[in-house]
Structure 1
Amino acid sequence: MSFTYNIGIKLAGFGLQCIAPFNEKIKKGAEGRRETFSILEKNISKKDKTLWFHCASLGEYEQGLPVFKVLREHYKNHKIVLSFFSPSGYEIRKNSPFADVVVYLPLDSKHNAKRFINLVHPELTVFVKYDIWPNLLNELRKKQLRAILISAAFRPNQSYFKFYGKHLRNALFAFEHIFTQNEASKELLESINYNNVTVSGDTRFDRVSSQLEINNTLDFIEDFKQDKLCVVAGSTWPEGETLLINYINNHASKDIKFIIAPHNIKPNQIKNLQDKLEVESVLFSEKEQHNLKTAKVFIVNTIGILTKIYSYADIAYVGGGLGTTGLHNTLEPAVFGVPIIIGNIYDKFPEAQALIDNNGMFSISNQTEFDTILTELIEDDTKRQFTGNNNASFIKKHKGAVDKIVKYLGF
C-alpha cells in the first residue's frame, strides 16, 4: 500500500500540473505549492520554536480557530505555521492574525514530507478534522514530534477501517491523541486498536458561540430589514437559489424581506440571480445608490459578513445540501436561535442530523417541500420561535470541546 500510495501521489502531482492551466483553483494551488519551501526557508530558522496547524480548507480553519487562539496566547514566543491544502482556505486566510507563516501544504511525497518537517520542526502539530497525510505524519513520528487531531469525525466506509487501508490506518498512530466529535468515531478508532482517544465534541460549537460575544451590528442590514420578518439564505448554490427565486416571485408577501448570500460571487452568477427576480433587489456593492427600505431582496456579493447577517435572520436557509458541493455551516445561524431549512443531502454532516432530531432544522428535497415549510415558519410565530430556541439551546449544550483539548495539553 505504501508503494501504491507514493506512486499515486506522484501521478496526482503530474495530473494537477496538466490540469492547472485550465482550472483557476487548481492553478492557484499548484503555483502556491511551488512557493511553500522558499517561504518557510525565508521565515523559519533552525533556532525558532514553532507550532504547526494544518487545515484542509476554510471550514476546518474556522473549526480549529478556538484552539488556535488559546495556543497562540500560551505559546507567545513560538512561531506558528498554518498550512492549507485547498486554495479556498489559503486565499481567504493567508493573512491570518493567528499565524506567523501561512503556506500551501506540499503534496505528500516522502521527499516533500522530510523537507517540510525539517524546515518547520514543530514542537506541537494540530490537524483539524481529517486530511490525513501518511508521509508527513510518519515523518513527525520518526522525529518523535507531538501531534494531535481535533474535531475528528470518522465513518465506517472510510479506508482506515477497510482491509486495504493499512497505510492510512498506520498514519493515525502518529497522533499521540485524537479528539473526536462523537462516540461513534471513538468506537471506530478503538476497533483498529487506537485507544488514545477522547470524545470532546465539535470545536465549532465553541467557535460559533463566541459570535454572541461580539458586536454583530450592520447598519445597512438594519436599514434594509427595518422591523419586518427576514429570511437569510446563506452560502447558496444555483439549485437552492432556484427554490428561493420561485418562492419570492410567486408566494412571498410584501412584508417579508430576503437576504441571499451566494457561495459563488462571480459577477455573471450574481447578475443571473438578480435578473431572475421579479421584485426589487439590491446588491451589497451598490447599496449606497439604492433605497434599502423599499428593496425586497438584498444580495450579498461579498465575503466575510454572512455570520453577522445571520444575527438578523428570523428564518435561515443554508445551501449546499441539494447538490454535490456539501452542506455549508448550519451552526452559524443556529447559535442565533433561528429555525433552519436545508437540502436532503447531509449524511456526512452529523450536526445536521442532530439539529433535525432536536426539532430545530428541516430538510427538503423539492420546491413543494420548500414552499410548505417556509410558509409554515413565516406564518406560525409559535413554531418559528420554538424551533429557533431549540437550535440555540442545542449549541449551548454542546460547547466545551476546547476546554477538554487545552486541559489535555496541560493549560
Structure 2
Amino acid sequence: SGYEVRKNYLLAEHVFYLPVDTPANAKKFVHLINPEVSIFTKYDYWYHYFKELNKQNIPLFVISAIFRENYSVFKWYGGVERQVLSFITKIFLQDEESKSLLQRIGITEVVVAGDTRFDRVVENAAKPKVIPEVQAFCADSNVFIAGSTWAQDEKHIAQLLNQYPDWKFIIAPHEISESRIKSLTELISEALKFSDIVVLNSSPNLSPQTSDLKKFSDKQVLIIDNMGMLSSLYQYGHIAYIGGGFGVGIHNTLEAATFGLPVIFGPNYYKFREARELINEEAAFSIKDQDELKDIMSRLQDTIFRVHSGQTAKKYVQDHTGATEIIFQHIYKR
C-alpha cells in the first residue's frame, strides 16, 4: 500500500492512515492537527473532513484533479459530490476539459496546473536508488522490466522467455503475497527471487569472488518480491511492460517512460490520458493477446526504433512537468 512505501518518509513528521470519514472523527482529527493548510490529491474527496475544514476556515486544496463527463458529480443525482466540491478553496486540475466541466456546475475556483506525477517521476529518475543485486543480475544484457503485473500479464511474458534467451526479464508483481509469489515461481520455475539474492549476497561465508555478478549470470528471470523498488528498477531496463491492462486498468506508465523506455501494456488503458498520448507518439504499445506482444517485441529488437521510441516517451514526460511549481506559487501567495 501507499502507507508501506511512505511510512518512513523523512520529510513528514507523521505518516498514518486517515481515520474513517465520520463527523466525529473529522471534527476530532482537524481539531487535533489544526493545520494551516490542507492538501488532498486527485481522487481523495472526503465529505466530513472537507466540511469540517471548511467550517473551521482552513484552506483546502485538491491537486492533480481530473474530471470526466460521465462522473456522478455532473449527473442529476450528484448533489452530495457537488457539495463536497463547494468546500474546497481551490482545485488544481490536470486539463482544460476538467475546468470546463466544473464551470458548468458553478465550480470556478480552479487552476489548470497539470499532473504532479510528471514532476515526481522526473525527480525520481534524476536520483534513482542503486540496486547492486539488480545490476549484477542484468550485467550487460538487454533487460525487459515488467512492473505491477497480474497473473494474466505474467502468462504472456512467460511465453517470451524461450524466444528471447539473450534478454533478461525482471518481473515486479503488483501484489507480493506469499501465494502470488508462489504462483509466479511455479509459472517460471527457473526464476530467481530478489530476496534470495539479498540473503545469498549478505552471507558472511561468501568470498568476494563468489559474490560478484557471475553468481547471477546464468539466470534469465528475476522476481522482485519486496516493495518500494519499482520506480528505480526501470533505470536498468530497455523495454518496460506495465501490468493491469488485462484487468481493471494499467498501472503507472510514467515511471518507466521517464527513464526512456518504450512501454507495453494490455488493452484496458483508455481512461489514462498519458497512455493514449504515448501510443499516438509510438512511445507506447497496447496488446490484446500473446501474438500482439510477440509482434511488438519483434519490432523493438530494432535498436534504432527501440531507442527512438524510448526517447520519445522520455520527452513526453519532460514536456508535461511544471505542475508542482504552479501549485506551490498559488498556495504560497494566497
Determine the structure 1 residue equivalent to 2:97.
Answer: 184
Q: Larger RCO: Structure 1 or Structure 2 (Cα < 8 Å, ≥ 6 residues apart)?
A: 2
Instruction: Give 2:247's aligned residue.
Output: 323
Amino acid at match of 2:262: P
Per-residue deviation at 1:401? 0.3
CA contact (8 A) 1:342 1:363 kept: yes
Write the deviation string for residues 41-86 of structure 1: whole angstroms up to 9, x where unpaired: xxxxxxxxxxxxxxxxxxxxxxxxxxxxxxxxxxxxxxxxxxxxxx
Q: 2:83 aligns with which of 170, 174, 178?
A: 170
Alignment partners' CA distance in 2, 1:151 and 1:199: 9
What is residue 330 of structure 2 aligned with on the other side? Answer: 408
Determine the structure 2 residue equivalent to 1:300: 224
The structure-2 alpha-carbon separation of the partners of 1:216 and 1:97, relative to structure 1 and needing over 3 Å to count, comes to: closer
- Where does residue 237 of structure 2 map in the other structure? 313
2:4 & 2:302 partners in 1: Cα distance? 42
Question: Which of the numbers 284, 287, 301 marks the counterpart of 2:194?
Answer: 284
**Contact kept? 2:61, 2:91, Cα under 8 Å:** yes
In the alignment, what sits opposite 2:204? Answer: none
Query: Which digits, 9 at most, give the CA deviation of each residue in 1:325-344, with x for residues without a partner?
Result: x3211100100111000111
Match in the other structure for 2:205: none
The amino acid that maps onto 2:314 is A
Would you tell me which structure has more helix in proportion to its own residues? 1
Shift of 1:263: 1.4
Specify the alignment match of 1:47 in structure 2.
none
Q: 1:229 aligns with which of 142, 149, 161?
A: 142
SS across alignment from 2:73: helix
SS in structure 2 at match of 1:150: strand
Which residue among 383, 393, 401 is the counterpart of 2:315?
393
Taking only the aligned residue pairs, the percentage that are identical comes to 41
Does residue 382 in structure 1 map to residue 304 in structure 2?
A: yes
**1:268 and 2:192 are equivalent in the alignment:** no
Could you tell me how far apart the structure 2 residues matched to 1:153 and 1:304 are? 26
Pick one of 293, 297, 313 that aligns with 1:370: 293
1:105 aligns with 2:29: no
Residues 391-400 or 216-225, more deviating: 216-225
1-side partners of 2:299 and 2:137: how far apart?
23
Going from structure 1 to structure 2, the CA distance change for 1:359 and 1:179 (only over 3 Å counts) comes to same
Moved more, 200-209 or 89-98: 89-98
- 1:70 match: none
Alpha-carbon distance change, 268 to 141 in structure 1, aligned in 2, over 3 angstroms: closer
Q: TM-score, normalised by structure 2?
A: 0.91
Of the structure 1 ranges 236-245 and 224-233, higher mean CA displacement relative to structure 2 is found in 224-233
Which ranges of structure 2 fall in alignment gaps of 5 or more residues? 202-213
* Cα-to-partner distance string for 1:279-337 (whole Å, 9 max, x where unaligned): x421111123792111011111111111111011100001111112x321110010011
Q: Which residue of 2 aligns with 1:134?
A: 47
CA contact 2:5–2:228 (8 Å) conserved in 1: no
Cα pair 1:216 1:311 within 8 Å, conserved = no
2:14 aligned with 1:94, yes or no?
Answer: no
- Deviations, residues 186-215 of structure 1 (Å, cap 9, x unaligned): 111111111111111110110011123215
Matched residues in 2 for 1:320 and 1:233: separation? 11
133 and 265 in structure 1: CA distance in 2 versus 1, 3 angstrom threshold: same
RMSD of Structure 2 on Structure 1 (CA) = 1.7
Instruction: Tell me the equivalent position of 1:361.
Output: 284
Query: 1:41 — aligned with what?
Result: none
Distance apart, 1:277 and its partner CA:
2.2
Deviates more, 1:267-276 or 1:155-164: 267-276
Number of residues of Structure 1 aligned to a counterpart in Structure 2: 319
Whole-Å separation in 1 of the counterparts to 2:18 and 2:296: 43
In structure 2, distance between residues paired with 1:224 and 1:100: 37
SS at match of 1:217: coil
Distance 2:90 2:19 in 1: 24
